[in-house]
Chain A
């Protein structure tokens, strides 16, 4: 079998079309996991929304030999609110995540982040779980999952396991998923009405990847910040919470000076993907603005 038959004779890639692959469309999760177990060693990949994978294939950056399309599996598009958790199955589209489906501050936060993800015709196809499995450092959903106390359910023919969102992202576009594993559900904690959120992202064009993005989730009690969660994306090789900055914020009264202090502490602890000081300046700015948005305090 010659997968590269469509290349030019001198070995350059052929026309700008995806390289040939074998397509599989399982009807159940069990079938999908069996196909994945069989083909993962042969460059087999899952196809969910395809809004990152298909462009990568068109550019021939990705050349999977097998695609397991999970789009036809019953129940995979289910989004449920249960026992204080939002449960997101593998084929829930970006467009489905907003105030119309999710109550409280989490619904509002999802809607805000959704609006930053590419464009409308991408949001109707791309999936939440697919974004997480793709683990682009600039992904809004990855930032959300790393910042909130989320939980990931991974499954393969070998069995299932549950991983905390903070441990799922392991490096640049690298996750805890083994090649034969599928992310079958992500759980996000619903947020109490007293929880405040603030998000700020900078990108060069509408719908483009973030250059830096920060998410702040906190409560205010007697005027002081309680249990702050502060996440940063697109700067380091993976999104993560900034513990040093959270320690600065805990118990303090929000002010522009405090945000500056927290952002400076965060900057000192960052390991950015590039050494450009601009990126670090930007990181400080988005952190400051996310905190301002969450607390309602002027920058």
Chain B
């Protein structure tokens, strides 16, 4: 049997009309049906956070949402972070602070950290560590990810100040 559904997603501002099986997770819809392979799959049962994307601005595990549940929703993935070929402050900070090694978990961390900074750019140390515990990274030991989030917040503040002065 197959239980097929026609759905439309808005992925990084672009509409995608796809026909998917009900059991297809949002992560698989994004990767297999929409062709955006930046979202990675690790554990596929909600533990590792590699597949984190933003749905209507909120971080979610894309392996724990069925594609049919995301009908009409606005989804942001790692492909949507850079603007006009310019990396987001967070992406740049991940490079500058060596917040990745193998890079497999990085798209998930970038989306998680984007949500954290959008909710509270001044987030406290304990709250930041607690929020970062959502995702697993086996390379960095997390310290450089914390540094990158702080560096990105500083860069965003500087950017805002510069824009206000201009």
Contacts and interface: CB of A to CB of B under 8 A. Distances in A.
Q: Please indicate whether A and B come from the same complex rather than being unrelated chains.
A: yes
Contact of B44 (A3, A58, A67): A58
Interface string B58-69: 111101111011
B131 interface: yes
Nearest to A93: B58
Contact of B69 (A1, A2, A20, A71): A71
Interface in A13-51: 16-23, 25, 47, 50-51
Given A25-B68, A55-B45, A125-B60, A1 B1 contact: yes
A206 B130 contact: yes
Interface residues of B, number: 34
Contacts of A51: 46, 61, 64
Given A20-B21, A206-B130, A125 B64 contact: yes
A209 to B, nearest CB: 12
B136 to A, nearest CB: 10
A264 B10 CA distance: 57
Interface in B20-58: 21-25, 28, 44-47, 49, 52, 58
Interface residues of A, number: 34
Contacts of A67: 22
A55 B64 contact: yes
A23 B58 contact: no
Interface string A44-67: 000100110011011100000001
A20 B2 contact: yes
* Interface class of chain B by DSSP: mixed
A119 B134 contact: yes
Interface string B94-124: 0000000000000000001001100000000
B65 A119 contact: no
Contacts, number: 98
Contacts of B1: 1-3, 5, 20
Nearest to B58: A124
A50 B22 contact: no
B3 interface: yes
A277 interface: no
A58 B45 contact: yes
B59 A121 contact: yes
A51 B21 CA distance: 19
Nearest to A124: B58
B44 to A, nearest CB: 5
A119 B48 CA distance: 11
Contacts of A5: 1
Contact of A54 (B2, B46, B115, B131): B46
B68 A23 contact: yes
A120 B3 contact: no
Contact of A120 (B63, B66, B112): B112
A50 B64 contact: yes
Given A23-B5, A120-B59, 20 more contacts: A2-B1, A16-B44, A16-B45, A18-B23, A19-B23, A20-B3, A20-B22, A21-B22, A23-B68, A25-B68, A54-B46, A55-B64, A58-B25, A69-B68, A69-B69, A115-B130, A120-B115, A121-B59, A125-B64, A207-B133
20 contacts: A16-B45, A20-B2, A20-B3, A20-B23, A22-B3, A23-B66, A23-B68, A47-B69, A50-B65, A54-B25, A54-B65, A119-B135, A120-B59, A120-B115, A121-B52, A121-B58, A121-B112, A122-B61, A124-B59, A207-B133
- Sort A-B residue pairs by CB-CB distance and give the 9 closest, nearest first: A23-B22, A119-B134, A55-B45, A206-B133, A124-B58, A121-B59, A58-B45, A18-B23, A54-B64
Interface of A: 1-3, 5, 16-23, 25, 47, 50-51, 54-55, 57-59, 67, 69, 71, 95, 115, 119-122, 124-125, 206-207
